[in-house]
Amino acid sequence: MRRARFGGGDFSQPIAIARADELGDLAGQINTMGQEIAQMLDAKRALLLAISHELRSPLTRARLNTELLPETGDTQDQRSALLRDLAEMAQLISDLLESERLSGSHAALNLELTDLGELVNEVVASLSNTTPLQINLAADLPQLQLDRTRIKLLLRNLLDNAQRHGQGPIELNLSRAGNDLLLTVRDHGSGIPADQLPQLGQAFFRLDAARQRSTGGVGLGLYLCRLVAQAHGGELVLENAEPGLRACVRLPV
Protein backbone atom coordinates (compact mmCIF):
# COMPACT_ATOMS: atom_id res chain seq x y z
CA MET A 1 0.00 0.00 0.00
CA ARG A 2 1.23 3.47 -0.83
CA ARG A 3 1.84 5.87 1.99
CA ALA A 4 0.02 9.19 2.17
CA ARG A 5 1.73 11.76 4.33
CA PHE A 6 -0.12 14.73 5.78
CA GLY A 7 1.41 17.01 8.37
CA GLY A 8 4.16 14.48 9.04
CA GLY A 9 1.71 11.58 9.56
CA ASP A 10 1.49 8.30 7.70
CA PHE A 11 -2.10 7.11 7.45
CA SER A 12 -1.48 3.95 5.44
CA GLN A 13 0.15 1.97 8.26
CA PRO A 14 -2.44 -0.01 10.26
CA ILE A 15 -2.40 -0.16 14.04
CA ALA A 16 -1.41 -3.71 14.93
CA ILE A 17 -3.88 -4.53 17.69
CA ALA A 18 -5.81 -7.81 17.51
CA ARG A 19 -8.32 -7.80 20.35
CA ALA A 20 -11.97 -8.80 20.59
CA ASP A 21 -13.03 -5.92 22.81
CA GLU A 22 -13.73 -2.18 22.65
CA LEU A 23 -10.03 -1.36 22.18
CA GLY A 24 -9.87 -3.74 19.26
CA ASP A 25 -12.96 -2.19 17.71
CA LEU A 26 -11.45 1.28 18.14
CA ALA A 27 -8.21 0.14 16.48
CA GLY A 28 -10.20 -1.26 13.57
CA GLN A 29 -12.08 2.01 13.14
CA ILE A 30 -8.83 3.99 13.22
CA ASN A 31 -7.30 1.68 10.61
CA THR A 32 -10.33 2.14 8.34
CA MET A 33 -10.21 5.92 8.79
CA GLY A 34 -6.48 5.95 8.03
CA GLN A 35 -7.00 4.01 4.82
CA GLU A 36 -9.81 6.37 3.77
CA ILE A 37 -7.60 9.42 4.41
CA ALA A 38 -4.77 7.85 2.40
CA GLN A 39 -7.14 7.18 -0.49
CA MET A 40 -8.50 10.73 -0.29
CA LEU A 41 -5.02 12.26 -0.43
CA ASP A 42 -4.03 10.01 -3.33
CA ALA A 43 -7.20 11.04 -5.17
CA LYS A 44 -6.45 14.72 -4.48
CA ARG A 45 -2.95 14.34 -5.87
CA ALA A 46 -4.20 12.50 -8.96
CA LEU A 47 -6.86 15.16 -9.58
CA LEU A 48 -4.36 18.01 -9.26
CA LEU A 49 -1.94 16.31 -11.64
CA ALA A 50 -4.71 15.62 -14.17
CA ILE A 51 -6.01 19.21 -14.09
CA SER A 52 -2.50 20.63 -14.40
CA HIS A 53 -1.75 18.42 -17.40
CA GLU A 54 -5.04 19.32 -19.08
CA LEU A 55 -4.40 23.06 -18.64
CA ARG A 56 -1.12 22.92 -20.55
CA SER A 57 -2.68 22.42 -23.98
CA PRO A 58 -5.07 25.43 -23.96
CA LEU A 59 -2.30 27.57 -22.48
CA THR A 60 0.04 26.59 -25.30
CA ARG A 61 -2.64 27.42 -27.89
CA ALA A 62 -3.32 30.78 -26.23
CA ARG A 63 0.38 31.62 -26.26
CA LEU A 64 0.76 30.69 -29.94
CA ASN A 65 -2.31 32.75 -30.89
CA THR A 66 -1.01 35.71 -28.90
CA GLU A 67 2.38 35.51 -30.60
CA LEU A 68 0.59 35.84 -33.97
CA LEU A 69 -0.77 39.25 -33.01
CA PRO A 70 1.02 42.15 -34.75
CA GLU A 71 3.81 43.76 -32.74
CA THR A 72 2.97 47.27 -33.86
CA GLY A 73 0.38 49.89 -33.02
CA ASP A 74 -2.09 49.60 -30.18
CA THR A 75 -1.72 45.81 -29.84
CA GLN A 76 1.94 45.86 -28.76
CA ASP A 77 1.32 46.58 -25.06
CA GLN A 78 -1.63 44.18 -24.90
CA ARG A 79 0.35 41.46 -26.64
CA SER A 80 3.27 41.83 -24.21
CA ALA A 81 0.96 41.82 -21.18
CA LEU A 82 -0.82 38.69 -22.39
CA LEU A 83 2.45 36.86 -23.00
CA ARG A 84 3.67 37.75 -19.49
CA ASP A 85 0.43 36.50 -17.92
CA LEU A 86 0.49 33.27 -19.94
CA ALA A 87 4.12 32.67 -18.98
CA GLU A 88 3.25 33.10 -15.29
CA MET A 89 0.35 30.65 -15.61
CA ALA A 90 2.56 28.10 -17.38
CA GLN A 91 5.21 28.45 -14.67
CA LEU A 92 2.60 27.98 -11.94
CA ILE A 93 1.37 24.76 -13.56
CA SER A 94 4.94 23.48 -13.88
CA ASP A 95 5.60 24.27 -10.21
CA LEU A 96 2.40 22.53 -9.11
CA LEU A 97 3.28 19.42 -11.09
CA GLU A 98 6.81 19.36 -9.74
CA SER A 99 5.68 19.86 -6.14
CA GLU A 100 3.27 16.93 -6.40
CA ARG A 101 5.93 14.71 -7.98
CA LEU A 102 8.43 15.49 -5.22
CA SER A 103 6.02 15.37 -2.27
CA GLY A 104 4.67 11.92 -3.08
CA SER A 105 6.19 8.71 -1.79
CA HIS A 106 6.60 7.65 -5.44
CA ALA A 107 8.98 10.53 -6.22
CA ALA A 108 11.89 9.42 -8.41
CA LEU A 109 15.18 11.23 -9.01
CA ASN A 110 17.44 10.91 -12.05
CA LEU A 111 20.71 10.71 -10.14
CA GLU A 112 24.13 11.12 -11.71
CA LEU A 113 27.57 11.91 -10.34
CA THR A 114 27.75 15.71 -10.31
CA ASP A 115 30.24 18.44 -9.47
CA LEU A 116 28.00 20.85 -7.57
CA GLY A 117 30.45 23.74 -8.03
CA GLU A 118 30.33 23.36 -11.81
CA LEU A 119 26.54 23.16 -11.67
CA VAL A 120 26.42 26.40 -9.66
CA ASN A 121 28.58 28.16 -12.27
CA GLU A 122 26.37 26.78 -15.06
CA VAL A 123 23.20 28.13 -13.45
CA VAL A 124 24.75 31.52 -12.65
CA ALA A 125 25.96 31.88 -16.26
CA SER A 126 22.40 31.32 -17.51
CA LEU A 127 20.89 34.08 -15.37
CA SER A 128 19.92 37.41 -16.89
CA ASN A 129 19.50 39.47 -13.70
CA THR A 130 21.72 42.45 -12.99
CA THR A 131 21.95 42.06 -9.20
CA PRO A 132 25.61 41.80 -8.12
CA LEU A 133 26.49 38.23 -7.15
CA GLN A 134 29.40 37.25 -4.91
CA ILE A 135 30.34 33.58 -5.34
CA ASN A 136 32.66 31.63 -3.05
CA LEU A 137 33.16 27.96 -3.99
CA ALA A 138 35.47 25.86 -1.85
CA ALA A 139 38.07 23.80 -3.69
CA ASP A 140 38.35 20.00 -3.85
CA LEU A 141 34.73 19.30 -2.94
CA PRO A 142 33.50 15.73 -3.53
CA GLN A 143 31.07 14.95 -6.30
CA LEU A 144 27.56 13.91 -5.32
CA GLN A 145 24.81 11.75 -6.79
CA LEU A 146 22.32 14.47 -7.73
CA ASP A 147 19.34 15.06 -9.97
CA ARG A 148 20.83 17.89 -12.03
CA THR A 149 17.47 19.21 -13.24
CA ARG A 150 16.01 19.41 -9.72
CA ILE A 151 19.18 20.97 -8.24
CA LYS A 152 19.15 23.59 -11.03
CA LEU A 153 15.54 24.35 -10.08
CA LEU A 154 16.59 24.75 -6.45
CA LEU A 155 19.46 27.09 -7.34
CA ARG A 156 17.36 29.25 -9.66
CA ASN A 157 14.56 29.58 -7.11
CA LEU A 158 16.94 30.53 -4.29
CA LEU A 159 18.68 33.15 -6.44
CA ASP A 160 15.39 34.47 -7.80
CA ASN A 161 13.98 34.81 -4.28
CA ALA A 162 17.11 36.64 -3.12
CA GLN A 163 16.94 38.98 -6.09
CA ARG A 164 13.25 39.83 -5.70
CA HIS A 165 13.21 40.32 -1.95
CA GLY A 166 16.77 41.42 -1.18
CA GLN A 167 18.88 44.51 -1.59
CA GLY A 168 22.54 44.91 -2.50
CA PRO A 169 24.72 41.96 -3.52
CA ILE A 170 23.67 38.33 -3.26
CA GLU A 171 26.18 36.01 -1.57
CA LEU A 172 26.43 32.39 -2.73
CA ASN A 173 28.76 30.05 -0.85
CA LEU A 174 29.49 26.35 -1.28
CA SER A 175 31.61 24.55 1.32
CA ARG A 176 32.11 21.28 3.20
CA ALA A 177 30.51 21.00 6.63
CA GLY A 178 31.33 17.64 8.21
CA ASN A 179 29.58 14.94 6.20
CA ASP A 180 27.56 17.46 4.21
CA LEU A 181 28.00 19.98 1.45
CA LEU A 182 26.58 23.31 2.57
CA LEU A 183 25.13 25.67 -0.04
CA THR A 184 24.07 29.10 1.24
CA VAL A 185 22.40 31.98 -0.58
CA ARG A 186 22.08 35.26 1.31
CA ASP A 187 20.50 38.57 0.38
CA HIS A 188 20.78 41.90 2.19
CA GLY A 189 17.11 42.85 2.38
CA SER A 190 14.90 43.47 5.37
CA GLY A 191 14.66 39.82 6.39
CA ILE A 192 11.53 38.08 7.68
CA PRO A 193 9.47 38.87 10.79
CA ALA A 194 10.43 36.33 13.44
CA ASP A 195 6.85 35.12 13.92
CA GLN A 196 6.51 34.32 10.21
CA LEU A 197 9.89 32.67 9.68
CA PRO A 198 8.62 29.13 10.58
CA GLN A 199 6.00 29.42 7.81
CA LEU A 200 8.49 30.43 5.15
CA GLY A 201 9.04 27.59 2.71
CA GLN A 202 5.54 26.19 3.09
CA ALA A 203 3.33 25.84 0.04
CA PHE A 204 1.61 29.07 -1.06
CA PHE A 205 2.90 31.10 1.91
CA ARG A 206 3.57 34.74 1.05
CA LEU A 207 4.52 37.65 3.24
CA ASP A 208 2.57 40.07 1.06
CA ALA A 209 -1.01 38.89 1.35
CA ALA A 210 -2.05 41.20 -1.48
CA ARG A 211 0.03 39.11 -3.94
CA GLN A 212 1.36 42.17 -5.71
CA ARG A 213 2.73 41.66 -9.22
CA SER A 214 5.93 43.53 -8.29
CA THR A 215 6.98 40.74 -5.94
CA GLY A 216 5.99 37.90 -8.29
CA GLY A 217 5.33 34.28 -7.48
CA VAL A 218 2.58 32.53 -5.57
CA GLY A 219 4.62 31.04 -2.75
CA LEU A 220 5.89 27.82 -4.33
CA GLY A 221 9.55 28.70 -4.98
CA LEU A 222 11.02 28.05 -1.53
CA TYR A 223 8.59 25.17 -1.00
CA LEU A 224 10.02 23.45 -4.09
CA CYS A 225 13.54 24.12 -2.81
CA ARG A 226 12.66 22.37 0.45
CA LEU A 227 11.21 19.37 -1.42
CA VAL A 228 14.26 19.08 -3.68
CA ALA A 229 16.63 19.15 -0.68
CA GLN A 230 14.57 16.56 1.20
CA ALA A 231 14.34 14.30 -1.87
CA HIS A 232 18.17 14.21 -1.88
CA GLY A 233 18.29 13.30 1.82
CA GLY A 234 19.15 16.86 2.84
CA GLU A 235 17.35 19.85 4.28
CA LEU A 236 16.66 23.53 3.68
CA VAL A 237 17.05 25.93 6.61
CA LEU A 238 15.87 29.55 6.34
CA GLU A 239 17.11 32.12 8.85
CA ASN A 240 17.46 35.86 9.25
CA ALA A 241 21.01 37.03 8.56
CA GLU A 242 20.63 40.56 9.99
CA PRO A 243 20.41 42.08 7.49
CA GLY A 244 18.72 39.89 4.95
CA LEU A 245 17.67 36.26 4.68
CA ARG A 246 20.01 33.27 4.49
CA ALA A 247 18.90 30.01 2.83
CA CYS A 248 21.09 27.04 3.79
CA VAL A 249 20.87 23.77 1.88
CA ARG A 250 22.60 20.71 3.38
CA LEU A 251 23.27 17.79 1.04
CA PRO A 252 24.84 14.60 2.44
CA VAL A 253 28.12 13.47 0.93
Cα-Cα-Cα-Cα dihedral sign, residues 123, 125, 127, 129 = positive
Q: Is the pLDDT of residue 29 over 50?
A: yes
Q: From CA 182, how far away is CA 174, in angstroms rounded?
A: 6
Query: Is residue 63 domain-shared with residue 183, that is, in the same domain?
Result: no
Q: Which residues are bridge partners to 240 per DSSP?
A: 245
Q: pLDDT-derived band of residue 109, with 50, 70 and 90 as boundaries?
A: confident
Q: From CA 178, how far away is CA 253, in angstroms rounded?
A: 9
pLDDT digits (tens, 9 = 90+) for 179-211: 999 999 999 888 888 888 888 877 777 765 434
Query: Is residue 123 domain-shared with residue 198, that is, in the same domain?
Result: yes
Residue 109: CA count within 13 A, CB half-sphere: 19
Residue 7 falls inside a structural domain: no
Q: From CA 39, how far away is CA 37, in angstroms rounded?
A: 5
What's the CATH number where 160 sits? 3.30.565.10
Q: DSSP labels for 175-188? A: EEETTEEEEEEE--
Query: Is residue 61 domain-shared with residue 186, that is, in the same domain?
Result: no
Residue 47 is predicted with a pLDDT of 66
Query: Is residue 42 domain-shared with residue 115, that is, in the same domain?
Result: no
Query: Is residue 214 domain-shared with residue 120, that is, in the same domain?
Result: yes
- How confident is the model over 130-137, as a mean pLDDT? 87
- How confident is the model over 129-140, as a mean pLDDT? 86
- How confident is the model over 208-224, as a mean pLDDT? 62
DSSP one-letter code for 243? S
Check residues 97 and 162 and name the one with the higher pLDDT: 162
- The region of weakest confidence among 14-18, 82-86, 117-121, 222-226 is 14-18
Residue 167 dihedral angles phi and psi, to the nearest 5°: -135, 155
Q: From CA 103, how far away is CA 2, in angstroms rounded?
A: 13
> In the chain, what percentage of residues exceed pLDDT 90?
28
Query: Is residue 142 domain-shared with residue 217, that is, in the same domain?
Result: yes
Query: Is residue 182 domain-shared with residue 231, that is, in the same domain?
Result: yes
Residue 78 is predicted with a pLDDT of 81
Q: Which residues are bridge partners to 145 per DSSP?
A: 113
Query: Is residue 188 domain-shared with residue 210, that is, in the same domain?
Result: yes
pLDDT digits (tens, 9 = 90+) for 64-80: 888 887 877 777 878 88
Count of the separate structural domains present in the chain:
2
Residue 121 falls inside a structural domain: yes
- Domain of residue 147, residue span: 111-252
DSSP one-letter code for 198? G
In this structure, the strands spanning 245-252 and 235-240 are: antiparallel
Query: Please, which residues have CB within 8 angstroms of residue 40's CB and are 6 or more apart in sequence?
Result: none
Q: From CA 222, how far away is CA 220, in angstroms rounded?
A: 6
What's the CATH number where 68 sits? 1.10.287
